[in-house]
Amino acid sequence: MLIFSCIVSALAGGKRFLFIGDSITDGGWGRSGGSMASSEERNHKDLNHIYGHSFMMLCAARWQSDFPEEDTQFFNRGISGNTLCDMSARWEKDALGVDADVVTVLIGTNDVSMYLEGKAPLDFDRWEKDYRGLIAALRERNPHVQIILCTPFVADAGKIGRAEDFSKRKTLISRCSQVVRKIASDTGAVLLDYEEMFDTLTRNNPSYWIWDGIHPTAAGHQRMADMWLDRYSAIR
């Protein structure tokens, strides 16, 4: 059965995988240098840097290495600093325009940061409505698209963990995660509960997994990739 599915995939030109979100996905892809450069401003020809160095790269590397006959294509469209609103503004170009068969979304940590810094409101009803709108747009473009939604997370580590508002940040991140869980359940999307995973991992030595409270270390990104690979392997 696996061999047959691989042959069919190869004949069809291979699936297209999109990972979209903020800096946790971005990982400096396209020689961005860690900046908030748009997708158009990045280098799409340098294959040494096309995926960046996040969990997305680990997923792509593992899958393409294990299944070269599938001729898959992977696209990183994470942009550092993005909120849900920022991502929505580029959804037509960076999500719908890629026309992917599998779309993985991780967003939320910057929405909380912007709110705590007094730079933007955080209305959870509106946040949920806008998030659902993005999922609906994907399904309208491609009714067969497979959608993978990831919960945002935070850890008591680094400057984020030391901040006076950490407890409030954790509560807000958890509310965002609850929204993502609900949307995944309602829409039939696959859920990757990274908040739950990191809550368990960071009970001891949290900075080993998330060095500054927001961004995973190499070990943290590997665990994220492991979860993605396990779940996608089960639904492919």
Predicted pLDDT at 7: 35
Q: What value does the CA radius of gyration of the chain take, rounded to a whole number of Å?
A: 17
**pLDDT tens per residue across span 136-162:** 999 999 999 999 999 999 999 999 999
Q: What is the pTM of this model?
A: 0.94
Cβ proximity of 18 and 104 under 8 Å: yes
Length of the chain in terms of residues written = 236
179-219 pLDDT, tens digit each: 999 999 999 999 999 999 999 999 999 999 999 999 999 99
